[in-house]
């Protein structure tokens, strides 16, 4: 590998945004056939660097060399023509179109020059996915396939356009451990075929699992490039954050009290009218964290939506602190003492165009002291927000800052501040650290344990097994809308991983 | 490692890179005044080119004549005679309230009044994420109810009669808008479709009521499709100019007061908080415990109330009866869309854009535009051209922002809008 000249070199890339030096003379080198991880906290400048490489931004200084040739990339089209493919964190797919249509988009095989040759498109997509061992149906609509499969569609799209440099922006953020494993296998196949992969992430364990070399970026500067051999999680975390980071959660043994959240034989249908939750019963006591482990799409989302009143329950009962809230409106459930850190903070957790003060007031705006007789008191909103923002260490803005201008980690802290700040008796945290960096994850975990120690019942849903294991006092394993296993605090990742695929249940039946 | 970063803005973390969307929002806020001005300027520029290309007339001369017809020059009590670029003479003209200019200004403000309100009718719905195309229908319904209430209750004392008629018209407009809101909330029917349909229903029901042999047609005016005139007690007080010559009525102040009501409603009440939350992110609002459907209804009803009030003010202020041609040709609801778009849904913006469109309408009217300079019939079309261009450009906001950026940084290549940063 090393005997060849690098397929890609970035030299002294500098990019200035109003008030922010996003990239400060960053050097980066990609060899043929390697997976090179670009590691850094959110806002460290990884995405900016890759957007420059993909032609979305122009660097203020520095040069880009592809296969030794100095190039200027004015648009993604330039980048694609140079063999660069990018898979964004948020997929750029058209949900109502089929897999094949999405892949050939903007480069369609045609019949008679104008008509889309569906058969040819299908055939070529099939060939492509077969040669790289992708299990994917070209005729399926994108909206009907899983997130992991959608990502594969994005990768196929790049391959279809003859990319030999593949940029993956936080590719595992939306994947289950199994899907991530499959993705890593795919990346292995690709690099063996001579492709080079840039893997943007802030997850240390992944980096050590997949990358050949690692470049760490902090505050817009390239800190160092190291080989995987000899790298440790602790060392990388220190380089990333610039200080020692506590990677494991320290928590005393739990002291469970009365059950505060009780779910009894709950059945819920999903958007397609299929039974997503099939007769689930469990309880969460005050002072304990119950984790729900499971592959994404096994009914966890529907379960939480049903508990919080955002989705109708077909059958069964939910009660909070002994009071029945089955089928109650979301506002009523919140008032009964529920805090909910939603799965998707940008879609649901925050009104991005609102100020932080307005966001903090999202549940309580309609009662004193925030308002009286329908009259809102903006100063009170600001006062309350200022308190909570300090308490939860939200940086990057004050009460009157728009939520959209905060980083992901700080946005999540605002959600936490609101949900925990209301002193709920039950706290539901759905993937509370998704897309967050090491420092922010540490913070969120500490707050969840703190809530537990304050006697709250915490229900944690996460796709990150290490998160489930390190936080939960009890773990429930979800498979196809049912609880297939329950464990105490000491459970291995392997054990959960197996049960999550339904293997445990099948054994039990057999 | 040159520290080229200028002092970062106080409220932003230097470690976070703003997303493209965030920067765009910044430009929009920074260009909050500039963008609409530029939009209007370009619209007038293109309108001028059309004038020149189609009639060969001097566009500047034409615009001057239109401006003269608006009476807006009355506001500045000096007349300046320009010699090249230097004022050669400045005359103090004073505020002569009986001059033709004053009369023109009264006409302009009479036209501006309903435009403010229909602009608000569009803007309020916008803030809830709804596009109210139904201002016209809501206005018509308001006008019909106002006429009927103005004809009835002839014995009531003046102010009370006015209030009763206005209130009834406002409620009727609210009901008309509310129908679209309820349909949206319950069945998901798109408000653009339903409000357009409601416009036609209002138009034809109005035509039936007012038209020949209709139940509201004035029995004394057999040959004209027009309602009976409202009672004198229902007339709005004329505070400037001659009531017999269509002076300016107090409806203007009601409209201006509604601008304040609009702002307070949105920013100082829980209702406004809910409406804005739903408008920005309905899913987050629902998660927060806000009933989205209820707000769809309320926003449409309040929008309709503004438009219905506009209809009543025109009837009680200067029309005094409702004519079939008015029912069938009224446009204020549609111009309200342009008013709201150009005014960027802000109270102050709506005031000025209503003033602009009101002035254009008056300045190009047959009565106010000197036909030797430009045919008023053509000028009327010019108004529509400019109105259309404004809507087009506001829709193409990004283009204007881009032009504005390009002015500052000519070499800056246009960026693709992406969510990544």
CA distance A315 to chain B (A): 22
Nearest-5° angle of CA A128, CA A130, CA A131?
Answer: 70
* Per-residue model confidence (pLDDT) at position B23: 46
B287 touches chain A (CB under 8 A): yes
Domain count of the fold of chain B: 1
Q: Is A347 in contact with B284 (Cβ distance < 8 A)?
A: yes
Residue B34 lies in a domain: no
CA–CA gap between residue B177 and residue B201 (Å, rounded): 12
Domains A8-241 and A249-337+424-510 share a fold: yes
Comparing CB atoms, the residue among B11, B280, B416 nearest residue A401 is: B11
Give the single-character DSSP code of A348: I
Q: Is B421 in contact with A48 (Cβ distance < 8 A)?
A: yes
Residue B60 lies in a domain: no
User: Which of A45, A89, A405 to mutate against chain B (most B CBs within 10 Å)?
Assistant: A405
Q: Is A352 in contact with B290 (Cβ distance < 8 A)?
A: no
Give the single-character DSSP code of B162: H
HSE-CB at A300 with a 13 A cutoff on CA atoms is: 25
CA distance B128 to chain A (A): 13
SS3 of residue A281 by DSSP: strand
Contact B148, B166 (CB under 8 A): no
Phi, psi angle pair for A270, to nearest 5°: -90, -175
> Which residues are within 8 A (CB) of B12 and not within 5 positions of it... i.e. 6 or more apart?
A19, A20, A396, A397, A405, B18
| Contact list, A398 vs chain B (CB under 8 Å) | 11
B29 touches chain A (CB under 8 A): no
Confidence label for B30 from pLDDT (cuts 50, 70 and 90): very low
CA distance A133 to chain B (A): 30
pLDDT tens sequence across B199-257: 999 999 999 999 988 899 888 887 889 999 999 998 999 888 877 778 889 999 999 99
* Per-residue model confidence (pLDDT) at position A435: 72
Instruction: State both tokens at A458.
Output: 């915490």
Residue B220 lies in a domain: yes
B5 touches chain A (CB under 8 A): yes
Average pLDDT over residues B351-378: 82
B418 touches chain A (CB under 8 A): yes
If one compares A409 and A335, the residue with the highest pLDDT of the two is: A335
User: Which of A19, A45, A88, A167 to mutate against chain B (most B CBs within 10 Å)?
Assistant: A19
Percent of chain A with pLDDT over 90: 41
pLDDT exceeds cutoff 60 at A1: no
Q: Is A353 in contact with B280 (Cβ distance < 8 A)?
A: yes
Q: Is B1 in contact with A169 (Cβ distance < 8 A)?
A: no
Comparing CB atoms, the residue among B16, B274, B289 nearest residue A363 is: B289
Strands A323-324 and A315-320, bridge-based pairing: antiparallel
> Which residues are within 8 A (CB) of A270 and not within 5 positions of it... i.e. 6 or more apart?
A276, A299, A302
CA–CA gap between residue A194 and residue B383 (Å, rounded): 64
Give the single-character DSSP code of A239: H
* Per-residue model confidence (pLDDT) at position B6: 35
For A363, name the nearest residue in chain B, comparing CA atoms only. B288
Q: Find the range with the poorest average confidence among A419-423, B144-148, B343-347, B378-382.
A: B378-382
| Contact list, A361 vs chain B (CB under 8 Å) | 273
User: Which of B5, B263, B289, B416 to mutate against chain A (most A CBs within 10 Å)?
Assistant: B289
For the beta sheet containing A20-30, the strands, ordered from the edge strand earlier in sequence to the opposite edge, are A20-30, A8-17, A61-66, A69-71
For the beta sheet containing A275-285, the strands, ordered from the edge strand earlier in sequence to the opposite edge, are A275-285, A259-269, A315-320, A323-324
| Contact list, B127 vs chain A (CB under 8 Å) | none
Contact B233, B90 (CB under 8 A): no
B281 touches chain A (CB under 8 A): yes
Percent of chain A with pLDDT over 70: 95
| Contact list, B419 vs chain A (CB under 8 Å) | 88, 90
CA–CA gap between residue A296 and residue B230 (Å, rounded): 68
Q: State the Rg of chain A over Cα.
A: 24
Q: Which of A488, A469, A432 is nearest to A205 (CA)?
A: A469
Q: Which of A474, A446, A481 is nearest to A460 (CA)?
A: A474
Judged on CB neighbours under 10 Å (0-12, 13-18, 19+), B24 is: middle
CA–CA gap between residue A374 and residue A365 (Å, rounded): 9
CA distance B369 to chain A (A): 45
Instruction: Answer yes or no: pTM beyond 0.90.
Output: no
| Contact list, B405 vs chain A (CB under 8 Å) | none
* Per-residue model confidence (pLDDT) at position A247: 65
SS3 of residue B10 by DSSP: coil
If one compares B308 and A491, the residue with the highest pLDDT of the two is: B308
Within 192-251 of B, beta carbons closer than 8 Å to A belong to: none
Instruction: State which residues form the domain around B194.
Output: 111-375
Residue B300 lies in a domain: yes
* Per-residue model confidence (pLDDT) at position B104: 85
B92 touches chain A (CB under 8 A): no
CA distance A370 to chain B (A): 9
User: Which of B1, B16, B302 to mutate against chain A (most A CBs within 10 Å)?
Assistant: B16
| Contact list, A378 vs chain B (CB under 8 Å) | 267-268
Comparing CB atoms, the residue among A45, A332, A371 nearest residue B270 is: A371
Q: How far apart are the first and last CA of chain A?
A: 49
pLDDT tens sequence across A95-139: 888 888 888 887 777 777 777 777 888 888 888 888 877 778 888
B273 touches chain A (CB under 8 A): yes
CA distance B348 to chain A (A): 20
If one compares B386 and A369, the residue with the highest pLDDT of the two is: A369
User: Which of B270, B413, B414, B417 to mutate against chain A (most A CBs within 10 Å)?
Assistant: B270
Enumerate the β-bridge partners of residue A71.
A64
Looking at domain A8-241, its CATH architecture is: 3-Layer(aba) Sandwich (3.40)
Average pLDDT of chain B is 82
| Contact list, B5 vs chain A (CB under 8 Å) | 16, 19-21
* Per-residue model confidence (pLDDT) at position B87: 63
Q: Is B1 in contact with A88 (Cβ distance < 8 A)?
A: no
Q: Is A51 in contact with B420 (Cβ distance < 8 A)?
A: yes
User: Which of A73, A75, A362, A419 to mutate against chain B (most B CBs within 10 Å)?
Assistant: A362
Comparing CB atoms, the residue among A20, A358, A374 nearest residue B18 is: A20
B11 touches chain A (CB under 8 A): yes
CA distance B18 to chain A (A): 6
CATH code reported for the domain at A249-337+424-510: 3.40.50.300
* Per-residue model confidence (pLDDT) at position B396: 64
B291 touches chain A (CB under 8 A): yes
pLDDT exceeds cutoff 70 at B262: yes
CA distance A49 to chain B (A): 9
CA distance A309 to chain B (A): 9
SS3 of residue A359 by DSSP: helix
Tell me which range, A168-182, A368-382, B62-76, is most confidently predicted by mean pLDDT.
A368-382
Average pLDDT over residues A204-227: 88
Q: Is A56 in contact with B5 (Cβ distance < 8 A)?
A: no
CB pairs under 8 A between A and B: 169
The residues spanned by each domain of chain A are: 8-241, 249-337+424-510, 352-423
| Contact list, A56 vs chain B (CB under 8 Å) | 415-416, 418, 420
Q: Which of B359, B393, B298, B319 is nearest to B116 (CA)?
A: B359
Give the residue carrying structure tokens 């004809």.
Answer: B151
CA–CA gap between residue B180 and residue B138 (Å, rounded): 11
ipTM over 0.85: no
pLDDT tens sequence across A224-283: 898 988 888 888 888 887 777 666 777 888 888 899 999 999 999 988 888 999 999 999
pLDDT tens sequence across B77-110: 666 666 656 666 666 666 676 777 888 888 899 9
Cis status, amide bond into A69, omega within 30 of 0: no
pLDDT exceeds cutoff 70 at B8: no
Comparing CB atoms, the residue among B16, B25, B413 nearest residue A43 is: B16
* Per-residue model confidence (pLDDT) at position A103: 87
């Amino acid at each position: 590998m090393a005997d060849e000249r690098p397929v890609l070199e970035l030299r002294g890339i500098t990019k200035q945004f109003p008030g922010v030096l996003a990239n400060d003379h960053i050097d980066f080198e990609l060899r043929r056939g390697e997976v090179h991880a670009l590691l850094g906290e959110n806002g460290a400048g990884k995405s900016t660097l890759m957007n420059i490489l993909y032609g979305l931004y122009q660097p203020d200084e520095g040069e880009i060399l592809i296969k030794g040739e100095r190039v200027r990339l004015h648009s993604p089209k330039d980048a694609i023509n140079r063999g660069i493919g990018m898979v964004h964190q948020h997929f750029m797919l058209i949900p109502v179109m089929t897999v094949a249509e999405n892949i050939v988009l903007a480069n369609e095989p045609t019949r008679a020059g104008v008509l889309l040759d569906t058969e040819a498109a299908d055939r070529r997509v099939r060939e492509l996915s077969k040669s790289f061992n992708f299990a994917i149906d070209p005729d399926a609509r994108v909206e009907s396939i899983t997130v992991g499969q959608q990502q594969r569609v994005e990768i196929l799209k790049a391959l279809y356009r003859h990319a030999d440099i593949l940029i993956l922006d936080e590719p595992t953020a939306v994947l289950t451990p199994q899907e991530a494993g499959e993705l890593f296998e795919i990346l292995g196949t690709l690099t063996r075929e001579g492709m080079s992969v840039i893997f943007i992430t802030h997850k240390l364990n992944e980096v050590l699992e997949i990358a050949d070399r690692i470049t760490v970026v902090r505050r817009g500067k390239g800190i160092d490039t190291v080989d995987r051999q000899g790298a440790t999680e602790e060392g990388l975390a220190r380089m990333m954050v610039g200080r020692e980071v506590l990677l494991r959660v320290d928590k005393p043994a739990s002291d469970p009290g009365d059950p505060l959240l009780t779910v009894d034989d709950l059945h819920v249908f999903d958007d397609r009218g299929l039974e997503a939750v099939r007769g689930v019963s469990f309880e969460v006591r005050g002072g304990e964290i119950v984790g729900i482990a499971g592959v994404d799409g096994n009914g966890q989302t529907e379960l939480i939506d049903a508990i919080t009143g955002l989705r109708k329950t077909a059958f069964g009962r939910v009660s909070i602190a002994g009071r029945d809230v089955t089928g109650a409106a979301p506002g009523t459930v919140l008032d009964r003492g529920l805090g909910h850190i939603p799965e998707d903070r940008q879609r649901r957790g925050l009104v991005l165009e609102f100020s932080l003060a307005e966001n903090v007031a999202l549940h309580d705006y309609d009662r004193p002291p925030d308002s009286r007789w329908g009259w809102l008191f903006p100063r009170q909103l600001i006062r309350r927000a200022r308190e909570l923002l300090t308490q939860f260490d939200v940086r990057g803005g004050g009460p009157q800052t728009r939520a959209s201008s905060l980083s992901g980690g700080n946005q999540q802290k605002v959600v936490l501040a609101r949900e925990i700040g209301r002193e709920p008796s039950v706290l539901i945290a759905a993937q509370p650290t998704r897309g967050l960096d090491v420092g922010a994850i540490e913070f969120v975990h500490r707050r969840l344990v703190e809530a537990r120690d304050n006697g709250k019942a915490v229900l944690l849903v996460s796709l990150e097994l290490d998160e489930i294991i390190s936080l939960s006092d009890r773990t429930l394993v979800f498979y196809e809308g049912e609880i297939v296993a329950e464990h105490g605090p000491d459970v291995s990742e392997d054990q959960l991983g197996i049960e999550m695929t339904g293997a445990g249940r099948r054994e039990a039946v057999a | 490692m040159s520290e080229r970063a200028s002092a970062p803005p106080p409220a932003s973390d230097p470690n976070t890179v703003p997303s493209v969307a965030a920067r765009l929002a910044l430009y929009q806020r920074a260009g909050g005044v500039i963008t609409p001005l530029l939009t209007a300027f370009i619209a007038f520029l293109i309108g001028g080119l059309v004038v020149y290309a189609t009639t060969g007339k001097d566009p500047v001369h034409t615009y001057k004549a239109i401006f003269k017809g608006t009476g807006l020059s009355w506001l500045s009590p000096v007349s300046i005679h320009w010699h090249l670029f230097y004022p050669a003479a400045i005359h103090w003209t004073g505020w002569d309230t009986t001059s033709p200019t004053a009369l023109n200004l009264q006409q302009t403000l009479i036209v501006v009044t309903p435009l403010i309100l229909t602009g608000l009718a569009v803007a309020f719905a916008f803030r809830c994420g709804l596009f109210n195309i139904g201002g016209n229908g809501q206005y018509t319904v308001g006008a019909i109810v106002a006429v009927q209430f103005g004809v009835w209750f002839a014995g009531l004392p003046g102010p009370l009669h006015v209030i009763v008629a206005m209130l009834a018209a406002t409620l009727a407009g609210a009901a008309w808008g509310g129908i679209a809101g309820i349909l949206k909330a319950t069945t998901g029917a798109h408000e653009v479709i339903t409000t357009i349909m409601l416009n036609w229903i209002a138009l034809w029901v109005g035509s039936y009521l007012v038209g020949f042999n209709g139940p509201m047609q004035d029995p004394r005016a057999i040959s004209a499709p027009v309602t009976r005139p409202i009672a004198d007690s229902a007339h709005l007080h004329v505070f400037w100019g001659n009531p017999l010559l269509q002076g300016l009525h107090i409806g203007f102040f009601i409209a201006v007061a509604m601008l304040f009501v609009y702002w307070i409603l949105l920013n100082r009440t829980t209702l406004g908080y809910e409406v804005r939350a739903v408008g920005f992110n309905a899913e987050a609002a629902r998660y927060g415990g806000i009933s989205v459907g209820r707000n769809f209804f309320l926003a449409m009803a309040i929008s309709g109330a503004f438009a219905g009030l506009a209809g009543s003010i025109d009837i009680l202020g200067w029309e005094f009866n409702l004519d079939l041609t008015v029912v069938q040709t009224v446009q204020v609801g549609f111009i309200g869309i342009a008013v709201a778009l150009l005014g960027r849904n802000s109270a102050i913006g709506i005031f000025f854009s209503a003033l602009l469109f009101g002035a254009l309408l008056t300045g190009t009217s047959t009565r106010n535009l000197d036909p030797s300079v430009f045919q008023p019939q053509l000028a009327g079309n010019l108004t529509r051209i400019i109105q259309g261009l404004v809507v087009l450009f506001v829709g193409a906001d990004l283009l204007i922002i881009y032009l504005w950026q390009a002015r500052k940084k000519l070499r800056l290549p246009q960026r693709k809008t992406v969510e990544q940063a």
